[in-house]
Amino acid sequence: MKAKVTLAKEFRIGDIDKRIYGSFIEHLGRAVYGGIYEPGHPTADENGLRKDVLDLVKKLNVPVVRYPGGNFVSGYNWEDGVGPVEKRPRRLDLAWGTTEPNEFGTNEFLDWCKKANTECMMAVNLGTRGPDEARNLVEYCNHPSGTYWSDLRRSHGVEKPHDIKLWCLGNEMDGPWQMGAKTAVEYGRTALEASKLMKWTSPGIETVLCGSSSRNMSTFGKWEAESLDIAYDSIDYVSLHQYYGNHDDDPMNFLALTMQLDDFIYSIICTCDYIKARKRSEKTINLSFDEWNVWYHSNNAKFEKWSVAPKLLEDIYNFEDALLVGSMLITLLRHCDRVKIACLAQLVNVIAPIFTETGGGVFEQPTYFPFMHLSNYGRGSALLPLVDCPKYDSREFTDVPYLETIATYDEENDEMAIFCVNKSQDESMILDVNLMDFEGYTPCEFISMDGYDRKEENTFNDVKVRPHNNPVPSLDGKTLTVELKPFSWNVIRLKK
């Protein structure tokens, strides 16, 4: 099949906030214990941080990592995770039915962030706790010295404040599974007061209001409107969460789910702007898509109740999942004028691109690579390509373009990149890219992932599903022609 894409500098959607390439570490399963932290592991540093995992995280170039949950945060006493480790209590985690040893906490995570070249997006507990404990945590982390909480931090060996800029006001507070779940009005009031006190404690921080837990919730839409109506003036972002699975083994419908994702993002933008209009406000609320991924392979896994760091949510991803992850991130970039933060949930072991064996090795899941390409090469501003390509109908969606694409333009470094998924299972796509006013830009690299069985997975011994380089296509005048293999992930990089 044939397709055409036209690109011009004027097709700029917006600047890409680098935090759109964020991720997430929750105290859940083996994300922390046996994931990023494992004292005694052959690669562990003096603080027990696994260097083999850090190396793979650094290659992903993740600018922000949300912590410590997720559902976990709604029952978390942050004070349990600071100070001398031998004095820290073991607690039941009611979110996941496990035991939390609290060996790893706030300061250990902030140490990890430094080593991973990333920043922390800290979530506070607005489930079983409230504004008071939240503002204390902000004081502990961000106040220089001379107060109870800041001096406590210093007594724990952390002289300088962590200076955490971004804070989540709880997690999925409309979900009945959440400890301390609330109605929209209850939550709106709590979030408003928490955000207010947190900002008074540390001026300049930004806060994220919990949107509905997903588009499938009965509360979806109304929840956002009601809680935003209450907390609008004090908060900066509203959160979105969405996970997809190929439950019916229908790959064409699975890959079409980005149509729904696009619609979901648009409806939250509209809801924010509706409240803005009602308030005649000058302030615009942007979006924090702070949980997104494929999640379904591990749904029926069994584990021992109240054990420490059991194997939970350990999805082993395949090639078709990688194509959806790439397509989802392309969709987020198409909204980069409003989606400023996004977190691939999660980062290690728990529905994650990086997978470890406790005491053993580590490998990249197929989903690792599209994320890595976008995060490393998709910087600057995003351009909305004019696309002319064949479409298909799937079980739930009509007129699904076979081509999922976005282009990015990094003016400062004279670089461009075009990211494409060919969703056709059996046909190559001959793609003509018209580069309009990008004079002097020539292709320098053409990377792809293709030719795998859609169910192909990686293992500790064989990272089979991985990118490879292709001959660099040449330009004919302003037109670049590339062949996108059936069912493929593609990155075309250009330089001036």
> In this complex, which beta carbon is closest to ligand AHR, that of residue 70 or of residue 310?
70
Q: Smallest distance from the beta carbon of 71 to ligand AHR, in angstroms?
A: 4
> In this complex, which beta carbon is closest to ligand AHR, that of residue 69 or of residue 326?
69
Q: How far apart are CA 349 and CA 368, in angstroms?
A: 12
Burial (Cβ within 10 Å: 0-12, 13-18, ≥19) of residue 412? exposed
Output phi, psi for 5, to 5 deg: -130, 135
What b/e sequence results for 63-94 when a residue is b if at least 16 CB atoms lie within 10 Å of its CB, and e otherwise? bbbbbbbbbbbbbbebbbbbbeeeebeebebe
Q: Smallest distance from the beta carbon of 180 to ligand AHR, in angstroms?
A: 14
> In this complex, which beta carbon is closest to ligand AHR, that of residue 343 or of residue 494?
343
Task: Confirm if 433 and 446 have CB atoms less than 8 A apart.
Answer: no
The residue annotated as part of the active site, out of 291, 320, 364, 457, is 291
Q: How far apart are CA 43 and CA 38, in angstroms?
A: 9
Q: Smallest distance from the beta carbon of 446 to ligand AHR, in angstroms?
A: 34
Angle between helices 131-142 and 106-115 (to 10 degrees): 50
Where do we find the tokens 């004090």? 234
Q: Is 291 assigned a catalytic role? A: yes
Task: Confirm if 444 and 494 have CB atoms less than 8 A apart.
Answer: yes
DSSP, res 199: H
> In this complex, which beta carbon is closest to ligand AHR, that of residue 177 or of residue 266?
177
DSSP SS3 for 256: coil
> In this complex, which beta carbon is closest to ligand AHR, that of residue 172 or of residue 320?
172
Bond prior to 40 in cis (omega within 30° of 0): no
> In this complex, which beta carbon is closest to ligand AHR, that of residue 286 or of residue 346?
346
The residue annotated as part of the active site, out of 26, 108, 139, 172, is 172
Footprint of ligand AHR on this chain (CB under 6 A)? Answer: 26, 69-71, 171-172, 291, 345-346
Q: Smallest distance from the beta carbon of 72 to ligand AHR, in angstroms?
A: 6
Tokens of 238: 């509203």
Q: Smallest distance from the beta carbon of 262 to ligand AHR, in angstroms?
A: 21
Alpha helices in 179-256 (DSSP H): 184-201, 222-231, 251-255
- DSSP per position, 53-99: HHHHHHHHT-SEEEES-SGGGGG--GGGGSS-GGGPPPEEETTTTEE
Give the amino acid at 290. Answer: D
Instruction: Return the half-sphere exposure (C-beta side, CA atoms, 13 A cut-off) of residue 82.
Output: 22
> In this complex, which beta carbon is closest to ligand AHR, that of residue 344 or of residue 491?
344
Catalytic residues: 172, 291
